[in-house]
Amino acid sequence: MRRVYLSILVTVFGSLILIGWGLDIVAEKELKNTSPSELELYQRIIHSAAMQLDDLPLYQLDQGISRIQEQFKLEFFVEPLANLALPEELSEELETNRRLSLESSEGAFLIEKLETHSDYLLQLSVPLSTTETGYLDIALTLALYLGVGLALAIWLLPLTSRLSLLTKTAASFGTGKLDERVKPSRFSYISNLESSFNRMAAQIETLVADNKFLAQSLSHDLRTPVACLRFGVEAALDTQDEKKRLQYLQRIDEELTRMEDMLEAFLSYASMERKAQELKLANTDIGKLVYSTVEEMQALAIKGNIHLEYRQPSSQVFANVDYQWFYRALLNLISNAIDHTNGKVLACLTTSAKGLLIEIHDDGQGVPEEKREAIFSPFVTVEKSRNRQTTSYGLGLAIVSRVVHWHGGQITITNSKPLNGACFSILISPTLS
Protein backbone atom coordinates (compact mmCIF):
# COMPACT_ATOMS: atom_id res chain seq x y z
CA MET A 1 0.00 0.00 0.00
CA ARG A 2 2.97 2.33 0.47
CA ARG A 3 3.45 2.44 -3.28
CA VAL A 4 -0.19 3.48 -3.77
CA TYR A 5 0.08 6.26 -1.17
CA LEU A 6 3.33 7.60 -2.62
CA SER A 7 2.06 7.52 -6.20
CA ILE A 8 -1.17 9.36 -5.39
CA LEU A 9 0.71 11.99 -3.36
CA VAL A 10 3.18 12.53 -6.19
CA THR A 11 0.32 12.73 -8.68
CA VAL A 12 -1.72 15.26 -6.68
CA PHE A 13 1.11 17.53 -5.55
CA GLY A 14 2.98 17.21 -8.85
CA SER A 15 -0.11 18.14 -10.86
CA LEU A 16 -0.86 21.06 -8.52
CA ILE A 17 2.66 22.42 -8.90
CA LEU A 18 2.90 21.93 -12.67
CA ILE A 19 -0.63 23.13 -13.45
CA GLY A 20 -0.30 26.07 -11.05
CA TRP A 21 2.98 27.09 -12.64
CA GLY A 22 1.45 26.88 -16.11
CA LEU A 23 -1.62 28.87 -15.07
CA ASP A 24 0.60 31.56 -13.54
CA ILE A 25 2.30 32.00 -16.89
CA VAL A 26 -1.05 32.16 -18.66
CA ALA A 27 -2.42 34.64 -16.11
CA GLU A 28 0.65 36.85 -16.40
CA LYS A 29 0.36 36.98 -20.19
CA GLU A 30 -3.39 37.53 -19.96
CA LEU A 31 -2.98 40.43 -17.55
CA LYS A 32 -0.47 42.05 -19.85
CA ASN A 33 -2.73 41.61 -22.86
CA THR A 34 -6.13 42.44 -21.35
CA SER A 35 -6.03 46.24 -21.73
CA PRO A 36 -2.66 47.42 -23.07
CA SER A 37 -4.05 50.84 -23.96
CA GLU A 38 -5.23 51.39 -20.39
CA LEU A 39 -1.86 50.45 -18.90
CA GLU A 40 -0.11 52.64 -21.43
CA LEU A 41 -2.34 55.54 -20.41
CA TYR A 42 -1.46 55.04 -16.74
CA GLN A 43 2.23 54.94 -17.64
CA ARG A 44 1.89 58.32 -19.33
CA ILE A 45 0.06 59.70 -16.32
CA ILE A 46 2.71 58.59 -13.80
CA HIS A 47 5.46 59.92 -16.07
CA SER A 48 3.69 63.28 -16.25
CA ALA A 49 3.24 63.32 -12.47
CA ALA A 50 6.92 62.45 -11.95
CA MET A 51 7.96 65.37 -14.16
CA GLN A 52 5.81 67.70 -12.06
CA LEU A 53 7.36 66.45 -8.82
CA ASP A 54 10.88 66.80 -10.22
CA ASP A 55 10.29 70.57 -10.52
CA LEU A 56 9.43 70.85 -6.81
CA PRO A 57 11.84 71.00 -3.88
CA LEU A 58 11.88 68.03 -1.48
CA TYR A 59 9.85 69.72 1.26
CA GLN A 60 6.97 70.42 -1.22
CA LEU A 61 6.57 66.82 -2.43
CA ASP A 62 3.61 66.12 -0.15
CA GLN A 63 1.77 69.18 -1.44
CA GLY A 64 2.58 68.18 -5.00
CA ILE A 65 1.22 64.67 -4.44
CA SER A 66 -2.06 66.12 -3.11
CA ARG A 67 -2.49 68.33 -6.19
CA ILE A 68 -1.72 65.44 -8.55
CA GLN A 69 -4.24 63.16 -6.80
CA GLU A 70 -6.95 65.82 -7.13
CA GLN A 71 -5.99 66.39 -10.75
CA PHE A 72 -6.07 62.74 -11.89
CA LYS A 73 -8.36 61.25 -9.20
CA LEU A 74 -5.85 58.43 -8.64
CA GLU A 75 -3.83 57.14 -5.70
CA PHE A 76 -0.21 58.28 -5.82
CA PHE A 77 2.45 57.58 -3.21
CA VAL A 78 6.01 58.78 -2.76
CA GLU A 79 8.20 56.16 -1.10
CA PRO A 80 11.88 56.19 -0.24
CA LEU A 81 13.84 53.94 -2.55
CA ALA A 82 15.27 52.11 0.46
CA ASN A 83 11.79 50.92 1.52
CA LEU A 84 11.26 48.96 -1.70
CA ALA A 85 12.61 45.41 -1.62
CA LEU A 86 12.96 44.02 -5.13
CA PRO A 87 14.75 41.03 -6.62
CA GLU A 88 18.06 41.76 -8.25
CA GLU A 89 16.66 41.49 -11.80
CA LEU A 90 13.85 43.99 -11.12
CA SER A 91 16.24 46.36 -9.33
CA GLU A 92 18.49 46.38 -12.39
CA GLU A 93 15.49 47.00 -14.67
CA LEU A 94 14.37 49.93 -12.48
CA GLU A 95 17.87 51.40 -12.50
CA THR A 96 18.08 51.13 -16.28
CA ASN A 97 14.57 52.21 -17.37
CA ARG A 98 13.73 54.31 -14.28
CA ARG A 99 10.24 52.77 -14.36
CA LEU A 100 8.72 49.39 -13.50
CA SER A 101 5.36 47.59 -13.77
CA LEU A 102 4.34 45.14 -11.06
CA GLU A 103 1.22 42.97 -10.96
CA SER A 104 -0.59 41.04 -8.24
CA SER A 105 -4.02 39.62 -7.55
CA GLU A 106 -5.11 43.02 -6.26
CA GLY A 107 -4.08 44.93 -9.35
CA ALA A 108 -1.15 46.54 -11.14
CA PHE A 109 1.42 48.90 -9.63
CA LEU A 110 3.42 51.38 -11.66
CA ILE A 111 6.68 52.69 -10.19
CA GLU A 112 8.87 55.49 -11.55
CA LYS A 113 12.11 56.83 -10.15
CA LEU A 114 12.26 60.61 -9.67
CA GLU A 115 15.18 62.26 -11.46
CA THR A 116 15.64 65.28 -9.19
CA HIS A 117 15.01 63.33 -6.01
CA SER A 118 16.81 60.07 -6.92
CA ASP A 119 16.29 58.53 -3.47
CA TYR A 120 12.49 58.53 -3.90
CA LEU A 121 9.98 56.63 -6.04
CA LEU A 122 6.56 57.59 -7.29
CA GLN A 123 4.02 54.74 -7.08
CA LEU A 124 0.63 54.54 -8.79
CA SER A 125 -1.95 51.85 -7.95
CA VAL A 126 -3.90 50.78 -11.03
CA PRO A 127 -6.87 48.50 -10.17
CA LEU A 128 -7.88 46.02 -12.85
CA SER A 129 -11.38 45.80 -14.19
CA THR A 130 -13.52 43.78 -11.77
CA THR A 131 -15.35 42.01 -14.57
CA GLU A 132 -12.19 40.98 -16.37
CA THR A 133 -10.43 39.71 -13.25
CA GLY A 134 -13.58 37.89 -12.08
CA TYR A 135 -13.92 35.95 -15.32
CA LEU A 136 -10.20 35.28 -15.37
CA ASP A 137 -10.19 33.98 -11.78
CA ILE A 138 -13.12 31.66 -12.49
CA ALA A 139 -11.48 30.36 -15.66
CA LEU A 140 -8.15 29.74 -13.92
CA THR A 141 -9.84 28.01 -10.96
CA LEU A 142 -11.81 25.73 -13.26
CA ALA A 143 -8.66 25.00 -15.24
CA LEU A 144 -6.84 24.06 -12.02
CA TYR A 145 -9.61 21.72 -10.84
CA LEU A 146 -10.01 20.14 -14.27
CA GLY A 147 -6.25 19.68 -14.57
CA VAL A 148 -5.96 17.96 -11.18
CA GLY A 149 -9.04 15.85 -11.96
CA LEU A 150 -7.55 14.79 -15.29
CA ALA A 151 -4.25 13.87 -13.60
CA LEU A 152 -6.12 11.75 -11.04
CA ALA A 153 -8.15 10.09 -13.81
CA ILE A 154 -4.94 9.19 -15.64
CA TRP A 155 -3.49 7.85 -12.37
CA LEU A 156 -6.63 5.81 -11.63
CA LEU A 157 -6.76 4.21 -15.08
CA PRO A 158 -4.05 1.55 -14.50
CA LEU A 159 -5.31 0.98 -10.94
CA THR A 160 -8.89 0.31 -12.04
CA SER A 161 -7.58 -1.82 -14.89
CA ARG A 162 -5.57 -4.03 -12.51
CA LEU A 163 -8.46 -4.22 -10.03
CA SER A 164 -10.79 -5.26 -12.86
CA LEU A 165 -8.30 -7.95 -13.93
CA LEU A 166 -7.99 -9.17 -10.33
CA THR A 167 -11.79 -9.30 -10.00
CA LYS A 168 -12.18 -11.29 -13.24
CA THR A 169 -9.40 -13.68 -12.22
CA ALA A 170 -10.96 -14.21 -8.78
CA ALA A 171 -14.38 -14.82 -10.37
CA SER A 172 -12.89 -17.31 -12.83
CA PHE A 173 -11.00 -18.99 -9.98
CA GLY A 174 -14.26 -19.26 -8.04
CA THR A 175 -15.93 -21.12 -10.89
CA GLY A 176 -13.39 -23.93 -10.59
CA LYS A 177 -10.53 -22.81 -12.86
CA LEU A 178 -7.91 -23.27 -10.15
CA ASP A 179 -4.98 -22.57 -12.46
CA GLU A 180 -6.07 -18.94 -13.00
CA ARG A 181 -3.46 -16.38 -11.90
CA VAL A 182 -2.97 -12.62 -12.22
CA LYS A 183 -0.19 -11.89 -14.67
CA PRO A 184 2.38 -9.60 -12.99
CA SER A 185 3.01 -6.11 -14.34
CA ARG A 186 5.82 -3.67 -13.58
CA PHE A 187 3.37 -0.77 -13.69
CA SER A 188 0.85 -2.15 -11.21
CA TYR A 189 0.16 -0.18 -8.00
CA ILE A 190 -1.17 -3.31 -6.28
CA SER A 191 1.58 -5.80 -7.14
CA ASN A 192 1.73 -6.96 -3.50
CA LEU A 193 -2.00 -7.68 -3.50
CA GLU A 194 -1.71 -9.54 -6.79
CA SER A 195 1.22 -11.61 -5.50
CA SER A 196 -0.73 -12.43 -2.34
CA PHE A 197 -3.70 -13.54 -4.43
CA ASN A 198 -1.48 -15.75 -6.61
CA ARG A 199 0.10 -17.35 -3.53
CA MET A 200 -3.31 -17.93 -2.00
CA ALA A 201 -4.60 -19.42 -5.26
CA ALA A 202 -1.59 -21.73 -5.47
CA GLN A 203 -2.14 -22.92 -1.90
CA ILE A 204 -5.83 -23.53 -2.53
CA GLU A 205 -5.03 -25.42 -5.73
CA THR A 206 -2.53 -27.56 -3.81
CA LEU A 207 -5.04 -28.25 -1.02
CA VAL A 208 -7.78 -29.17 -3.46
CA ALA A 209 -5.41 -31.44 -5.38
CA ASP A 210 -4.28 -33.08 -2.14
CA ASN A 211 -7.89 -33.62 -1.08
CA LYS A 212 -8.66 -35.22 -4.43
CA PHE A 213 -5.62 -37.46 -4.05
CA LEU A 214 -6.72 -38.26 -0.53
CA ALA A 215 -10.24 -39.17 -1.60
CA GLN A 216 -9.02 -41.25 -4.55
CA SER A 217 -6.40 -43.03 -2.49
CA LEU A 218 -8.80 -43.74 0.36
CA SER A 219 -11.45 -45.07 -2.00
CA HIS A 220 -8.86 -47.26 -3.70
CA ASP A 221 -6.94 -48.48 -0.63
CA LEU A 222 -10.02 -49.12 1.50
CA ARG A 223 -11.58 -51.49 -0.99
CA THR A 224 -9.20 -54.37 -0.27
CA PRO A 225 -9.39 -54.29 3.57
CA VAL A 226 -13.18 -53.78 3.44
CA ALA A 227 -13.52 -56.77 1.11
CA CYS A 228 -11.29 -58.79 3.43
CA LEU A 229 -13.38 -57.76 6.42
CA ARG A 230 -16.61 -58.75 4.68
CA PHE A 231 -15.16 -62.09 3.67
CA GLY A 232 -13.82 -62.71 7.20
CA VAL A 233 -17.14 -61.81 8.84
CA GLU A 234 -19.12 -64.04 6.45
CA ALA A 235 -16.64 -66.90 6.89
CA ALA A 236 -16.72 -66.56 10.69
CA LEU A 237 -20.52 -66.64 10.66
CA ASP A 238 -20.72 -69.62 8.34
CA THR A 239 -18.10 -71.88 9.91
CA GLN A 240 -18.88 -74.27 12.71
CA ASP A 241 -15.21 -74.87 13.52
CA GLU A 242 -14.18 -72.81 16.55
CA LYS A 243 -10.49 -72.70 15.55
CA LYS A 244 -11.28 -71.38 12.07
CA ARG A 245 -13.64 -68.81 13.59
CA LEU A 246 -10.79 -67.56 15.80
CA GLN A 247 -8.46 -67.42 12.78
CA TYR A 248 -11.00 -65.37 10.83
CA LEU A 249 -11.50 -63.03 13.75
CA GLN A 250 -7.71 -62.63 14.05
CA ARG A 251 -7.48 -61.65 10.40
CA ILE A 252 -10.33 -59.20 10.86
CA ASP A 253 -8.44 -57.61 13.75
CA GLU A 254 -5.29 -57.29 11.61
CA GLU A 255 -7.24 -55.66 8.78
CA LEU A 256 -8.86 -53.22 11.19
CA THR A 257 -5.42 -52.30 12.58
CA ARG A 258 -4.13 -51.74 9.05
CA MET A 259 -7.13 -49.53 8.24
CA GLU A 260 -6.61 -47.48 11.41
CA ASP A 261 -2.94 -46.92 10.55
CA MET A 262 -3.81 -45.90 7.01
CA LEU A 263 -6.55 -43.48 8.08
CA GLU A 264 -4.27 -41.96 10.73
CA ALA A 265 -1.53 -41.41 8.14
CA PHE A 266 -3.91 -39.83 5.64
CA LEU A 267 -5.59 -37.55 8.18
CA SER A 268 -2.22 -36.50 9.58
CA TYR A 269 -1.08 -35.41 6.13
CA ALA A 270 -4.38 -33.64 5.42
CA SER A 271 -3.89 -31.48 8.54
CA MET A 272 -0.28 -30.50 7.73
CA GLU A 273 -1.13 -27.25 5.97
CA ARG A 274 -2.85 -25.97 9.09
CA LYS A 275 0.18 -26.92 11.16
CA ALA A 276 2.40 -24.83 8.89
CA GLN A 277 0.99 -21.73 10.61
CA GLU A 278 2.29 -23.01 13.96
CA LEU A 279 5.99 -23.40 13.10
CA LYS A 280 8.36 -22.61 15.97
CA LEU A 281 11.48 -21.41 14.16
CA ALA A 282 14.69 -21.18 16.19
CA ASN A 283 18.39 -20.83 15.46
CA THR A 284 19.41 -24.49 15.47
CA ASP A 285 22.72 -26.33 15.21
CA ILE A 286 22.02 -28.32 12.05
CA GLY A 287 25.04 -30.57 12.58
CA LYS A 288 23.69 -31.78 15.91
CA LEU A 289 20.21 -32.16 14.45
CA VAL A 290 21.38 -34.39 11.60
CA TYR A 291 23.62 -36.34 14.00
CA SER A 292 20.68 -36.98 16.37
CA THR A 293 18.57 -38.20 13.46
CA VAL A 294 21.28 -40.56 12.25
CA GLU A 295 21.75 -41.95 15.76
CA GLU A 296 17.99 -42.46 16.05
CA MET A 297 17.98 -44.52 12.84
CA GLN A 298 21.06 -46.62 13.70
CA ALA A 299 18.95 -49.31 15.40
CA LEU A 300 16.79 -49.74 12.28
CA ALA A 301 19.91 -49.83 10.09
CA ILE A 302 21.61 -52.45 12.28
CA LYS A 303 18.45 -54.55 12.26
CA GLY A 304 18.53 -54.58 8.45
CA ASN A 305 22.30 -55.20 8.38
CA ILE A 306 22.84 -51.77 6.79
CA HIS A 307 25.86 -49.53 7.31
CA LEU A 308 24.66 -45.97 8.14
CA GLU A 309 27.38 -43.28 8.14
CA TYR A 310 27.33 -39.54 8.84
CA ARG A 311 29.85 -36.93 7.67
CA GLN A 312 29.69 -33.35 8.96
CA PRO A 313 31.82 -30.18 8.68
CA SER A 314 34.43 -29.38 11.32
CA SER A 315 32.69 -26.11 12.33
CA GLN A 316 29.17 -25.58 13.60
CA VAL A 317 26.49 -24.43 11.15
CA PHE A 318 23.14 -22.95 12.14
CA ALA A 319 19.77 -22.30 10.45
CA ASN A 320 16.32 -21.11 11.50
CA VAL A 321 14.19 -24.27 11.53
CA ASP A 322 11.38 -25.86 13.48
CA TYR A 323 13.31 -28.60 15.26
CA GLN A 324 10.50 -31.18 15.46
CA TRP A 325 9.29 -30.86 11.87
CA PHE A 326 12.77 -30.77 10.39
CA TYR A 327 13.73 -33.75 12.53
CA ARG A 328 10.72 -35.62 11.18
CA ALA A 329 11.66 -34.75 7.58
CA LEU A 330 15.20 -36.07 8.09
CA LEU A 331 13.82 -39.25 9.71
CA ASN A 332 11.62 -39.83 6.66
CA LEU A 333 14.53 -39.30 4.27
CA ILE A 334 16.91 -41.64 6.11
CA SER A 335 14.15 -44.22 6.57
CA ASN A 336 13.42 -44.04 2.84
CA ALA A 337 17.11 -44.56 2.07
CA ILE A 338 17.27 -47.56 4.44
CA ASP A 339 14.18 -49.05 2.76
CA HIS A 340 15.75 -48.86 -0.70
CA THR A 341 19.46 -49.42 -0.11
CA ASN A 342 21.45 -52.56 -0.80
CA GLY A 343 23.57 -52.12 2.32
CA LYS A 344 25.02 -48.59 2.63
CA VAL A 345 23.50 -45.20 3.51
CA LEU A 346 25.53 -41.99 3.82
CA ALA A 347 24.32 -38.71 5.35
CA CYS A 348 26.43 -35.60 4.58
CA LEU A 349 26.24 -31.98 5.75
CA THR A 350 28.23 -29.41 3.78
CA THR A 351 28.27 -25.63 3.37
CA SER A 352 28.63 -23.58 0.20
CA ALA A 353 27.94 -20.14 -1.16
CA LYS A 354 24.35 -21.24 -1.86
CA GLY A 355 23.65 -22.34 1.73
CA LEU A 356 23.55 -25.49 3.85
CA LEU A 357 23.35 -28.76 1.93
CA ILE A 358 22.08 -31.97 3.54
CA GLU A 359 22.54 -35.05 1.35
CA ILE A 360 21.23 -38.58 1.94
CA HIS A 361 22.93 -41.17 -0.32
CA ASP A 362 22.10 -44.86 -0.79
CA ASP A 363 23.52 -47.62 -2.98
CA GLY A 364 20.16 -48.82 -4.25
CA GLN A 365 18.74 -48.73 -7.76
CA GLY A 366 18.19 -44.93 -7.71
CA VAL A 367 15.14 -43.03 -8.91
CA PRO A 368 14.41 -42.77 -12.66
CA GLU A 369 14.52 -39.17 -13.94
CA GLU A 370 10.93 -39.29 -15.18
CA LYS A 371 9.71 -40.10 -11.65
CA ARG A 372 11.87 -37.69 -9.64
CA GLU A 373 9.34 -34.88 -9.65
CA ALA A 374 6.26 -37.04 -9.06
CA ILE A 375 7.83 -38.93 -6.15
CA PHE A 376 7.28 -35.94 -3.84
CA SER A 377 3.54 -35.92 -4.55
CA PRO A 378 1.31 -37.47 -1.86
CA PHE A 379 0.15 -41.06 -2.23
CA VAL A 380 2.81 -41.81 -4.85
CA THR A 381 5.08 -44.83 -4.20
CA VAL A 382 8.06 -46.22 -6.08
CA GLU A 383 8.27 -49.64 -7.70
CA LYS A 384 7.47 -52.60 -5.51
CA SER A 385 10.89 -53.99 -6.26
CA ARG A 386 12.45 -51.10 -4.36
CA ASN A 387 9.93 -51.10 -1.54
CA ARG A 388 10.67 -53.39 1.38
CA GLN A 389 7.82 -52.03 3.48
CA THR A 390 4.20 -53.02 2.87
CA THR A 391 2.77 -50.28 5.09
CA SER A 392 3.92 -47.35 2.94
CA TYR A 393 1.15 -45.00 1.80
CA GLY A 394 3.33 -42.70 -0.32
CA LEU A 395 3.33 -39.87 2.25
CA GLY A 396 6.89 -39.90 3.64
CA LEU A 397 8.58 -37.96 0.83
CA ALA A 398 5.50 -35.73 0.40
CA ILE A 399 5.87 -34.70 4.05
CA VAL A 400 9.60 -34.04 3.49
CA SER A 401 8.85 -31.83 0.49
CA ARG A 402 6.18 -29.90 2.40
CA VAL A 403 8.45 -29.31 5.44
CA VAL A 404 11.36 -28.14 3.27
CA HIS A 405 8.99 -25.77 1.46
CA TRP A 406 7.85 -24.33 4.81
CA HIS A 407 11.48 -23.49 5.59
CA GLY A 408 12.08 -21.77 2.25
CA GLY A 409 14.42 -24.54 1.07
CA GLN A 410 14.72 -26.81 -1.95
CA ILE A 411 14.81 -30.59 -2.24
CA THR A 412 16.12 -32.40 -5.30
CA ILE A 413 16.96 -35.96 -6.40
CA THR A 414 20.14 -36.84 -8.28
CA ASN A 415 22.35 -39.87 -8.79
CA SER A 416 24.67 -40.52 -5.87
CA LYS A 417 28.33 -40.22 -6.85
CA PRO A 418 29.85 -41.94 -3.79
CA LEU A 419 27.33 -44.83 -3.64
CA ASN A 420 25.87 -44.92 -7.20
CA GLY A 421 22.28 -45.00 -5.94
CA ALA A 422 19.86 -42.14 -5.19
CA CYS A 423 20.86 -38.86 -3.55
CA PHE A 424 18.22 -36.69 -1.85
CA SER A 425 19.52 -33.14 -1.28
CA ILE A 426 18.03 -30.42 0.95
CA LEU A 427 19.31 -26.86 0.50
CA ILE A 428 18.44 -24.25 3.16
CA SER A 429 19.74 -20.81 4.10
CA PRO A 430 22.18 -20.64 7.05
CA THR A 431 22.21 -18.07 9.85
CA LEU A 432 25.06 -16.56 11.80
CA SER A 433 26.10 -18.59 14.83
What pLDDT, in 10s, does the model give residues 290-335? 999 999 999 999 998 999 999 988 888 999 999 988 998 999 999 9
pLDDT given at position 217: 64
Report the alpha-carbon distance of residue 329 to residue 346 in Å, rounded: 16
Mean pLDDT of the chain: 82
Asked if residue 197 lies in contact with residue 182, where contact means CB atoms within 8 angstroms, the answer is yes
Asked if residue 338 lies in contact with residue 300, where contact means CB atoms within 8 angstroms, the answer is yes
* Predicted model pTM: 0.52
Which has more pLDDT, 391 or 420?
420
Least Cα distance to 294 among 349, 334, 338 occurs for 334
Does pLDDT of 258 surpass 90? no
Report the alpha-carbon distance of residue 61 to residue 79 in Å, rounded: 11
What band does 382 get if pLDDT is binned at 50, 70 and 90?
A: low
pLDDT given at position 213: 67
pLDDT given at position 386: 38
- Parallel, antiparallel or unpaired: strands 307-311 and 344-352: parallel
With the CA atoms of 145, 150, 153 and 158 taken in that order, what torsion angle do they form, in degrees rounded to the nearest 10? -150
Does pLDDT of 169 surpass 80? yes
Q: What angle do CA 167, 169, 171 make, to 5 degrees?
A: 70
pLDDT given at position 410: 94
What band does 82 get if pLDDT is binned at 50, 70 and 90?
A: confident
Asked if residue 313 lies in contact with residue 350, where contact means CB atoms within 8 angstroms, the answer is yes
Does pLDDT of 117 surpass 70? yes
Does pLDDT of 238 surpass 60? yes
Angle between helices 36-54 and 2-34 (to 10 degrees): 70
pLDDT given at position 31: 56
pLDDT given at position 107: 65
Report the alpha-carbon distance of residue 342 to residue 420 in Å, rounded: 11
**Among the ranges given (158-162, 208-212, 361-365, 374-378), the one the predictor scored with the smallest mean pLDDT:** 208-212
Report the alpha-carbon distance of residue 127 to residue 315 in Å, rounded: 87
Report the alpha-carbon distance of residue 373 to residue 378 in Å, rounded: 11
Does pLDDT of 387 surpass 80? no
Does pLDDT of 133 surpass 60? no
Highest mean pLDDT pick, 15-24, 28-37, 227-236, 278-287: 278-287
